[in-house]
């Protein structure tokens, strides 16, 4: 059989979608950047379900809407392959493995009052995650940064993020720069001009939309625990949170520690830690909190509440992406957002690397993993499993 051309894709049944995302949800350690890298490997390179350009467009759009970006990319892929049924199957199957693991950990936490010791396993896995993301960045950049202009925009976006601008602000500026460059028809493509425009936009101090939205939904203190209020609290958070798990931590603390008084600070930190060290979406922190305050039913209610906005936003925005691509200005803006997304991914990778490559064993795991990925094309699932065992033995 001849290889598929870059513009051709394979079909996928609902069963194939379910199995693929159940597997990915079980092994996808490392946060959104790692999840996206594994999805690119699985669905662009191995299964050839979508093209790299389609993947980048969905990644950029997921970064522009509230909610867990990697989960929303999974939902986008399901929608592209099998419509609304695929949307539900892909997103649910990516979330379910982590939700079940977190529920089991929450049960043990409530029963024994402590989290399991997993430092050794994570010690070995984290260097592999860095290698996986670097491999994906190299491949995605060939499409997402295909012109000098987009490379300059990515560099500006990375610099803005490093100096403290929020991810959504960075993406808005990246898209605006690309659209402005198109509007000038190539007369103002210099790095100096783009830097000046970026500085001007940054000086506007884009409104803190997320904070404002949170204030609009402010809830008074000392409410009793009910499933309805639990659901609405997580529905609200899932509708307005942009950014990383650390941004999520701020929202959760405001809601459940300060306003509702359902959690202590230590319980909240433990919940976030569980979301970080389990595979799949970091937003399964909600599952842990739901279990603590209302048992297994609360875990299910909280999980549905925080992820439901992502499903709805993808369902609404998915059909718009091809239409935007037909408009030269919007297409250019989307290219800029893609470049900005890759820049954010690169910054996260640098931060992961500093936190993960801390000694000679982790450097050795990272180097061997990168060689295995780039030269031998070893499946990342095997590398994660092997590194987890190695980390456990070393620690």
Which pLDDT score is estimated for 183?
Answer: 66
List, for residues 91-125, the tens digit of each pLDDT value.
999 999 999 999 999 999 888 877 777 677 778 88
Q: Does pLDDT of 295 surpass 50?
A: yes
More confident residue, 272 or 74: 74
- Give the C-alpha separation, 192 to 198, whole Å: 10
Instruction: State yes or no: pLDDT of 70 exceeds 60.
Output: yes
Q: Which two tokens stand for residue 84?
A: 């609304």
pTM to 2 decimal places: 0.75
Neighbours of 4 (CB within 10 A): 11
Locate tokens 């060939």: which residue? Answer: 142
For the chain, which residues make up each domain, given as ranges? 14-146+316-325+349-394, 209-309
Q: What is the pLDDT of residue 219?
A: 42
Q: Which residue has the higher pLDDT, 310 or 136?
A: 310
Please state, in angstroms and rounded to a whole number, the distance separating the CA atoms of residues 387 and 123.
Answer: 8
Q: φ, ψ for residue 31 (rounded to 5)?
A: 90, 180
Give residue-wise pLDDT tens across range 122-163: 788 888 878 888 888 888 888 889 889 899 999 999 999 888
Return the percentage of the chain with pLDDT > 90, whole number: 38
Residue 277 clears pLDDT 90, i.e. is over it: no
Tell me, what's the pLDDT at 220? 41
Please name the residue that has the structure tokens 């790299």: 52
Can you read off the two tokens belonging to residue 165? 């601008």
What does the alpha-carbon distance between residue 381 and residue 25 come to, in Å, rounded to a whole number?
A: 11
Distance CA 241, CA 344 (A): 17
Q: Are 17 and 78 in contact (CB under 8 A)?
A: yes
Q: What is the tens place of the pLDDT at every residue in 312-348?
A: 999 999 998 888 888 888 888 889 988 988 888 888 7
| pLDDT value at 357 more than 70 | yes
CA atoms within 13 A on the CB side of 190: 5
**What is the mean pLDDT of the segment spanning 25-54?**
90
Percent of the chain with pLDDT over 70: 86
Q: Which segments of the chain does DSSP mark as H helices, in order?
A: 14-27, 32-39, 52-64, 69-112, 119-144, 148-162, 167-183, 191-203, 209-216, 227-240, 245-252, 265-277, 285-317, 320-325, 328-356, 360-371, 380-394
Q: Are 157 and 344 in contact (CB under 8 A)?
A: yes
Q: Is the pLDDT of residue 361 over 50?
A: yes
Residue 240 clears pLDDT 90, i.e. is over it: no
DSSP string covering 141-178:
HHHHT-SHHHHHHHHHHHHHHHTT--HHHHHHHHHHHH
Q: Does pLDDT of 394 surpass 90?
A: no
Q: How far apart are CA 287 and CA 125, in angstroms?
A: 23
């Amino acid at each position: 059989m001849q290889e598929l051309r870059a513009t051709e894709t394979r079909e996928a049944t609902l069963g194939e979608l379910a199995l693929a995302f159940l597997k990915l949800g079980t092994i996808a350690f490392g946060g959104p950047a790692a999840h996206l890298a594994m999805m690119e490997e699985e669905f662009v390179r191995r299964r050839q379900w979508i093209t790299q350009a389609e993947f980048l467009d969905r990644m950029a759009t997921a970064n522009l809407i509230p909610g867990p970006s990697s989960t929303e990319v999974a939902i986008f892929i399901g929608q592209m392959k099998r419509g609304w049924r695929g949307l539900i199957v892909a997103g649910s199957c990516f979330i379910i493995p982590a939700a079940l693991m977190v529920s089991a950990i929450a049960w043990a936490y409530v029963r024994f009052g402590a989290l399991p010791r997993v430092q050794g396993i994570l010690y070995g896995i984290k260097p592999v995650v860095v290698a996986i993301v670097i491999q994906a960045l190299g491949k995605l950049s060939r499409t997402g940064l295909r012109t000098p202009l987009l490379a300059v925009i990515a560099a500006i976006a990375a610099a803005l993020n490093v100096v403290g601008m929020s991810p959504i602000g960075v993406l808005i500026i990246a898209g605006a720069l690309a659209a402005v460059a198109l509007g000038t028809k190539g007369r103002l493509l210099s790095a100096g001009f783009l830097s000046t425009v970026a500085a001007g936009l940054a000086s506007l101090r884009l409104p803190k939309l997320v904070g404002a939205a949170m204030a609009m939904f402010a809830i008074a203190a000392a409410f009793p625990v009910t499933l309805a209020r639990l659901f609405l609290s997580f529905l609200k958070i899932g509708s307005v949170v942009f950014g990383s798990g650390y941004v999520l931590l701020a929202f959760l603390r405001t809601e459940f520690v300060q306003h509702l008084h359902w959690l202590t600070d230590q319980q909240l930190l433990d919940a976030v830690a569980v979301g970080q060290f389990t595979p799949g979406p970091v937003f399964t922190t909600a599952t842990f909190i739901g279990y603590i305050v209302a048992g297994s039913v609360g875990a299910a209610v909280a999980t549905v509440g925080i992820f439901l906005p992502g499903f709805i936003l993808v369902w609404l925005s998915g059909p718009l992406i091809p239409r935007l691509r037909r408009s030269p200005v919007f297409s250019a803006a989307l290219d800029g957002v893609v470049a900005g997304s890759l820049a954010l991914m690169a910054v996260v990778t640098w931060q992961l690397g500093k936190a993960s490559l801390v000694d000679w064993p982790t450097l050795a795991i990272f180097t061997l993993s990168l060689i295995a990925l780039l030269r031998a094309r070893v499946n990342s699932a095997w590398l994660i499993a092997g590194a987890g065992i190695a980390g456990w033995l070393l620690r």
